[in-house]
Each structure stands twice: as C-alpha cells, then as structure tokens.
Amino acid sequence: DSGVTQTPKHLITATGQRVTLRCSPRSGDLSVYWYQQSLDQGLQFLIQYYNGEERAKGNILERFSAQQFPDLHSELNLSSLELGDSALYFCASSVQGSGSYNEQFFGPGTRLTVL
Amino acid sequence: DQQVKQNSPSLSVQEGRISILNCDYTNSMFDYFLWYKKYPAEGPTFLISISSIKDKNEDGRFTVFLNKSAKHLSLHIVPSQPGDSAVYFCAAWGRRALTFGSGTRLQVQP
C-alpha cells in the first residue's frame, strides 16, 4: 500500500459525458501528479500540482483539467469524453515538486471505460 | 516522439536464471533513471534507480546499469523468481516529470 488513494476504481460512461477522478496523496506529500496509461502503452504524464498550484504540464488535452484543493487532494476532470479516453489514470504523490527527482508513490489507478 | 523506449514487450525466463530488461532513451537532459514494477490492478511501485553520474547501482538481486554514451540502461535480476513476474517500466526524470517506456512483461517460469 503506497498510501495514495484513488476513487473510483472503475468508471464506465458514455461518449460526450464528463467524469471526475479523485486522488488523495500520502500524508505529508505536497505534490500530486496525474498520468494516463492507454492499452499497452507507458504512463503518459498529464499534469502536476504542488501545494495547490499547477507546477508542470504534460500531454494533457484541453478537454481535461485538474485542481488541487487546500487539503491537498486532487481531482482530474475529463469532459466531452471520447472512446480514445478509455485508459487507466494514475495519480502519484511526492514530498517536493521540482528540481531533482523526488520519489513518486503511485495510487492503484482508476480504470475509465468510455462506451 | 518516444523519448524512452522499451523495445521488448515481453520476456520469459526460467526461475533461477538472469533476467535482463533493456531501455533506450533519446533525451540527453534526463538526469535520473528508474525502474518500476507493476502487478495487475495495482499502481507502479519503485524498484531501483540510478543517477546519470553513475554507471551501476545494485540492490539485492536487482542491478541497474547505465551507459550514457549509448543512452541505454538495463535492469538485471539475478536469480529470477516467480514472484518477479510483472510488467517492468523504465522511466527517466527530466526536471519536471517522469517519462515512461511502454513496459516489458516479465514471466518467470518455475
């Protein structure tokens, strides 16, 4: 158990819909990262928040957005869903947010299926 | 543009033998490299890492080798055990984020 929690575990929805994925970081971690893993692919970095502020952006679509709340939990919002958005979405947390590498601890992921 | 590549999608070895997983990268700015292990229905877990200023790091049965001139790293598992069966991801840190390879599925046969 990494200490990072993600809800829900599974989500099935239809094209055009909007969903929210939730992540709670490990106690004491200020940084939250979101990754997308499509079928048989590596994890693609989407976005990072550090202590409530956006710190880095990766290959995140404009239809996707995220935020980190004062209690440090984070939400990833996916809208106008398309079939290609079906994937595993992982959240990771670390103590720090930039510069040298800080170990990232991953949650179990949310499996999103868009029908 | 895949900056981190794992060209072998799968690898099968006998228990007790050596497993060698390979990874290539293209970005010279990467300064830290990691291997993650992933079981089904779980998130990736950190296995071993190496800084770009080193060429080898060892932790028990796991050793990571880095060849900067070739932009290549490898993970050696000796001896391999059935519990090592998982998907292994190579990842590289480039100041802001981790870049992952597509993974190699290791199957260790008893």
* pLDDT score recorded for residue A102: 80
B109/A101: higher pLDDT = B109
- Flag whether residue B100 sits within 8 Å of chain A, measured between CB atoms: yes
Per the CB < 8 Å rule, is B96 touching A56? Answer: yes
The shortest C-alpha distance from A32 to chain B (Å) reads: 11
CB contact under 8 A, A45 and B97: yes
- Answer yes or no: do A33 and B99 touch at CB < 8 A: no
Beta bridge partners of B11: B106
The answer, for B96 touching chain A at a CB cutoff of 8 Å, is yes
Average pLDDT, chain B: 95
pLDDT value of position A99:
67
Chain segment A72-115, per-residue pLDDT in tens:
999 999 999 999 999 999 999 998 766 677 889 999 999 999 99
Q: Which candidate from B45, B97, B102 shows the least CB-CB separation from A40?
A: B102
Instruction: Give CA–CA dist A115/B14, Å, rounded.
Output: 40
**How far apart are alpha carbons B106 and B9 in whole angstroms?**
9
B6 in Cβ contact with B104 (< 8 Å): yes
Predicted pLDDT of residue B2: 79
* pLDDT digit string, tens, across residues B34-55: 999 999 889 999 999 999 999 9
Q: Chain B closest CA to A108's CA: distance in Å?
A: 4
Which pLDDT value is given to residue A1? Answer: 83
Chain B neighbors of A109, CB-CB under 8 A: 42-43
Separation in Å, CA of A10 to nearest CA in chain B: 11
Q: Is the pLDDT of residue B1 over 70?
A: no
Check residue A39 and give its pLDDT: 82
**For the ranges A99-103, B62-66, B77-81, B102-106, which has the lowest average pLDDT?**
A99-103
| Cβ within 8 Å, pair B43-A41 | no
Label residue A59 by pLDDT band (50, 70, 90).
Answer: confident
Among candidates A42, A48, A108 on the partner chain, residue whose Cβ is nearest the Cβ of B43: A108
Q: Contact A56/B41, CB-based, under 8 Å? A: no
CA A109 – CA A77 distance, rounded (Å): 15
Give the β-pairing of B86-93 and B32-38.
antiparallel
Q: What is the DSSP string of B28-74?
A: TT--EEEEEEE-TTS--EEEEEEETT-SEEEETTEEEEEETTTTEEE
Residue A10 CB burial class (10 angstroms; 0-12, 13-18, ≥19): exposed
Instruction: State the pLDDT at residue B96.
Output: 79
The rounded radius of gyration (Å) of the Cα atoms in chain B is: 13
Give the strands of the sheet with B62-67, arranged side by side: B4-5, B19-25, B72-77, B62-67, B56-59
Q: Which of B109, B99, B102 is nearest to B38 (CA)?
A: B102
- Across the interface, do B93 and A58 touch by the CB < 8 Å criterion? no
CA B47 to CA A7: how far, in whole Å? 25
- Which among B6, B43, B99 has CB closest to A90? B43
